[in-house]
Amino acid sequence: MKTNVVLLGCLSLLSASCLADNGDSSAIHRSAGADQANAGLKLPAGFKAQVVAENLGAARHIAVTPLGDIYVKIQSSKPGKAIAVLHPTGSGKPDAVKTFGTYRGTGMVIKDHYLYTSSDEDVYRYQLNDKFEVMHPDQPEKIVTGLINRHQHESKSIALDNAGNIYVNIGAYSNSCQQQDRAKGSKGIPGCPILDSAAGIWQFKADKLNQTYGDGVRYATGLRNVVGLDWNTAQNQLFVMQHGRDGLFDMFPEYYDLQQGNELPAECMYALKKGDNAGWPYIYYDGIQHKKMLSPEYGGDGKKTGGADAIDPVVAFPAHMAPNGLLFYTGNQFPERYKNGAFIAFHGSWNRQKGQKGYYVVFVPFKDGKPSGNWEVFADNFTGVENIQSPGQAQHRPCGLAQGPDGALYVTDDVKGTVYKISYSGK
Amino acid sequence: MKKIAMIGVALCATLSFLLAQTPKKPAGSQSSVTRGKKVYEQYCLTCHQVDGSGVPHLNPPLIKTSFVLGDKGKLIQVILKGMQASEPIDDEYYSNNMPPHNFLKDQEIADVLTYVRRNFGNKASAVTTADVKTARAKN
């Protein structure tokens, strides 16, 4: 208790200085190292970035056709603004932006001759012609419908395998399945009922209309919320990025200090097999001790481990960075070490205190389906500010990832609706 | 000599009596703001952020919103009951939930709301413990 009081004291002192800083707009410095030639991004040597489009709205996931046309899912309910289509010309920039569809949502994948998209309740697909253009923008086929949307963790992100299945994330409409969501000290609901209809990945047929829960399979459970996911073709396996839980310090200061609240739990990458359980809400993954820990809502105290039946992550990243995009790189343009490795777009944290983290695209090298080295920051400086204190200060936040036919990497930003194209020239 | 000492003691007693009395005067809204800041940092900052700007699409800002500047009774209820409505706030949707903070004392709620209404560019009247009591009595 004593340490808690002291810590709280320190916290208020430190936050006081933050508050003071924030009132002063000069505290937001433009980062010195930003190279405007690379659209303001910081990249490894030999890579170049270009802005392909701007001001699209909240640009979420993205897909690029074999002919280089770009489809971007916009998180907007404005009539006719759900999907942006860019047809780049010689300069690499599109001449005009066309839009269609009226529904919020995040998901956007191209597989064979279909464009798959999702609202926050349904999954659609649009047939593509021989130039990979959407044939009937006003008549999508609704393949999945009636998925739960209680506004929290509502993105129904999607991925497809090579066997005609589509995988849909249904995020938990809760932080940790407490009796009272996010309330200080509130206990977990025994036998968390959210797991029946959410907090997992559901598998449906990619070509069957109007499927709902009864037609699908709960492919994996115990996943709080997955926004970034991808089918790893080299491994023939689904990989997902989980958004880890919040509030260990805020809600359970008797077990966690501010520092632990900031650094726990890890943001995890999981390789899924049918029937897997990643353990939410009963456990969380401590990336510092490399252990599955019992959640304080379910009897944990920051020391007790748990989750004997839960899988371990493939990679554990720092806490709260919000992984929104995952892409396994299969192109030939980037140097050999990038082949089959994972790019992850971290949207950036909000529930750390005294400085936020993330807001970048990282890379994890892979060999034989397993990470072959540590993760590294690949593209940085999206925020345009140093020492970001609050997400509202970020000028850009990375969200979706796609690979172009030439092997370039595309990154979306959902603050200003920028689409970046990152290419390798070796120079 | 004895007399002077007596006067000294009396003076001291009066002085310390006066000193002890002054800080115990009813708290002005300035000290309410100071205390409210502490409450904010402990219970609100993670979600509504250090500068009251909130988190885009997730947690609303506390900067000149209709709730913050509006009816005190309604504002106090947000703190007591939390907010899970997912109805638009000044035309924006926020997907997170706000938990109830009814465990806070009347004084703490009055302080934190006075702090919020006097900060982040807001200019509105102080919230008193009497306001909080009235709001609580309605539930």
What CATH code is carried by the domain that includes residue A330?
Answer: 2.120.10.30
A351 vs B: CB within 8 A:
yes
Q: Does domain B27-137 have CATH number 1.10.760.10?
A: yes
- Shortest alpha-carbon distance between residue A367 and chain B (Å): 37
Identify whether A265 is preceded by a cis peptide bond (ω within 30 of 0): yes
Give pLDDT, residue A48. Answer: 96
Interatomic CA distance for residues A102 and A241, integer angstroms: 28
Q: Has residue A164 been placed in a domain?
A: yes
Q: Which pair of tokens denotes residue B124?
A: 């509105």
> Contact at 8 Å (CB) between A223 and A199?
yes
Q: What are phi and psi of B92, to 5 degrees?
A: -120, 140
CA–CA distance, A371 with A264 (Å, rounded to integer)? 22
Cβ distance of A151 and B82 shorter than 8 Å: no
Nearest CA in chain B to A8: B42
Q: Measure Cα distances from A234 to A168, A228, A340 in Å.
A: 21, 18, 7
**Least trusted range by pLDDT, from A75-84, B50-59, B82-91:** B82-91
Mean pLDDT of A258-273: 97
Q: pLDDT tens-digit profile of A117-171?
A: 999 999 999 999 999 999 999 999 999 999 999 989 999 999 999 999 999 999 9
In this prediction, residue A36 carries a pLDDT of 67
Q: Are A357 and A320 in contact (CB under 8 A)?
A: yes
**Residue B87 banded pLDDT, cuts 50, 70, 90:** confident
Residue of higher predicted confidence among A161 and A427: A161
B20 or A392: which leads in pLDDT = A392
Assess whether pLDDT exceeds 50 at residue A397.
Answer: yes
What is the pLDDT, as a whole number, of residue B25? 40
pLDDT, one tens digit per residue, over A57-110 is: 999 999 999 999 999 999 999 999 999 999 988 777 887 899 999 999 999 999
pLDDT tens-digit series, residues A302-361: 999 999 999 999 999 999 999 999 999 999 999 999 999 999 999 999 999 999 999 999
Look at residue A4 and tell me if it is in a domain: no
In DSSP terms, A379 is beta-bridged to A361
Average of pLDDT values for A381-395? 95
Mean pLDDT (chain B, rounded): 84
Rounded average pLDDT over A362-380? 97
Burial of B112 (0-12, 13-18, 19+ CB in 10 A): buried
Q: What is the mean pLDDT of residues B29-58?
A: 93
Q: Is any Cβ of chain A less than 8 angstroms from the Cβ of B88?
A: no
Query: Which candidate from B41, B47, B86 shows the least CB-CB separation from A12?
Result: B41
Residue A359 forms part of a structural domain: yes
pLDDT at A341: 98
Q: Is the peptide bond before A281 cis (omega within 30 degrees of 0)?
A: yes
Please indicate, yes or no, if residue A334 is contained in any of the structural domains. Answer: yes
ipTM: 0.82
**Band of residue A17 on the pLDDT scale cut at 50, 70, 90:** very low
Contacts with A246 from chain B: Cβ below 8 Å = 46
Q: Judge whether A180 is closer than 8 Å to chain B, CB to CB.
A: yes
- CB atoms inside a 10 Å sphere around CB A279: 26
Domain positions in chain B are 27-137
Residue A10, chain B, CB below 8 Å: the answer is: no
What pLDDT, on the 0 to 100 scale, is given for residue B19?
Answer: 45
A183: chain B residues, CB-CB within 8 Å: 82, 99-100
User: Does B57 contact A at CB distance below 8 Å?
Assistant: yes
Question: Domain residues for A174?
Answer: 16-424
Q: Which of B50, B84, B98 sits opposite A390 (nearest CB)?
A: B50
Domain annotation covers residue A11 = no
Instruction: Check whether A41 has a pLDDT greater than 70.
Output: yes
**A353 has a chain B CB within 8 A of its CB:** yes
